[in-house]
Structure 1
């Protein structure tokens, strides 16, 4: 049994926060300190999920949570996959709460953001999720406008209504392992209200709160870590384009119960069914083509122990 605070969902204002991080020792401290500065901090329960982390993030996070007085728990998952970590949080590790916020471990939440997301859900009883917008970055203004024009969720910060999460879990819906855009699939689950075949695509089920924001430090082209991060993101985006195309066809044929266990295997099967039409052209999408080559390399299945969360620390609220 996790040593986390358990709370009834009717507890006034409780917000459970899931922070997902992989080798973010430099950024996890600022991320957690930003949560401690939030107006909602006294009502937060923070679950930090370190997936495939080997850089000492856990020790940094434990010191910061202790110093800042943040209630919650830190888990280590050997398998480095955010979508799997999201499944663990939703189905196994979350406390009962009125709202659930999802945050990337390199982002810093601005102080009023969580309260503003929760307030947006209170104002809009028809909405199942609330999305925050970026404040910094070269593409922040364009992304912010895009989200306002075409509502959707961004993985760096969004909030789900507790009642929706309970229904998602009761339906047994899990994200495929190795899915790059897990937030995109959650957005689809929200827009369809868990029914891809009969629920329609209703954008009003997501409210984009333009006054709730997060920040990230700018990438520096002279820092090797930032160059590697950008290159990895471009490769992952190519992988994500393939996964999204295959996933869209699958769920509109069989609904969300047809979600596969592994997103990469789904792509390989999808391409094998029509390789001439579905194999990405090298000159048009070189990153997707490279991602496909990597998918085709044989990889061992993760062992049960690699997939299990290991409790590292807990701070009761």
Structure 2
């Protein structure tokens, strides 16, 4: 039996070096000496890319570790770059956020979950830490879902996404929700019904997140920004549902930006938008902010591998 190598994509941007290093270390350990290519996609933070590359020097001989500097700071763009430029068509693709630490058996658990669900196009881990973890875990196990902290997409599905030209809209907050929706619709909303069995929810694929520091102005500001992103996520979910489920349009025809996605939905469904804005005023403010297009010119710059400087420390 030929065992395919693991392809790991770690998406990072605002993490500190120690947090990202712990994530990389946990991913390498979870590979358990199986051949693997671990790609660290640092978007919009060249200093972090340089600093983490300085640590990536001593890894197992079975593992290839690459740190990529991606000029545009955006998770959706980093995901797109991995699908279309970086993934080497070699094995299923496992995605991690740069601030998590996976448990040593989590990757094997994803494999086991897929083995018992041949109809699944991907698999997802479930949260065990955080205030809403227990509720979200139970919801995912009963109704399905796709979690952005740790998930897997089959190699064949990755190849189809690449061939179709599918890209997540730039500036998207709900990257996992949109990706999960596309998978549950079998990549073709016109031909397939929503089927949660297309994503295997694996209760043994888990991770940890370092606890938040004491309350500071920076943390309070961060929480406010999260609230704004969550309000944007509500708008995105409405717009994506309109595109994929109501209109049955192909995923690769999604607007290229979250700005275009949300504003297109507001224009097409003004009555629905008004009702949402009355119920959730923060969504109205976020929609007003999204009226101004963002400069995405840096997204045209190809990612580059950051060479490791003179050996200083070991990541493992």
1:238 aligns with 231
Q: Which runs of 5+ in 1 are unaligned?
A: 1-9
Q: Distance in 2 between matches of 1:21 and 1:130?
A: 21
Q: How much does 1:113 deviate?
A: 0.3
2:129 aligns with 136
Aligned Cα RMSD in Å? 2.3
1:94 aligns with 87
Q: Distance in 2 between matches of 1:286 and 1:46?
A: 42
Three-state SS of the structure 2 residue aligned to 1:24 is coil
Q: Deviations over 1:23-73 (max 9, x none)?
A: 21242111112112214354221111111125x322342233223445221
Q: Distance in 2 between matches of 1:97 and 1:203?
A: 26
Moved more, 212-221 or 65-74: 65-74
Three-state SS of the structure 2 residue aligned to 1:58 is helix
1:52 aligns with 44
2:286 aligns with 291
2:35 aligns with 43
Q: How much does 1:264 deviate?
A: 1.3
1:24 aligns with 2:18: no
Q: Distance in 1 between matches of 2:40 and 2:89?
A: 16
Q: Distance in 1 between matches of 2:295 and 2:176?
A: 26
Three-state SS of the structure 2 residue aligned to 1:134 is coil
Q: Which runs of 5+ in 2 are unaligned?
A: 310-316
Contact map agreement 1:251 1:258 (CA 8 A) in 2: no
Q: How much does 1:241 deviate?
A: 0.8
Contact map agreement 1:32 1:64 (CA 8 A) in 2: no
1:310 aligns with 2:304: yes
1:67 aligns with 58
1:115 aligns with 108
Three-state SS of the structure 2 residue aligned to 1:76 is strand
Contact map agreement 2:242 2:265 (CA 8 A) in 1: no
TM-score (norm 1): 0.88
Q: Distance in 1 between matches of 2:273 and 2:175?
A: 22
Q: Distance in 1 between matches of 2:4 and 2:293?
A: 47
Q: How much does 1:230 deviate?
A: 2.2
Moved more, 196-205 or 248-257: 248-257
TM-score (norm 2): 0.88
Q: How much does 1:96 deviate?
A: 2.3
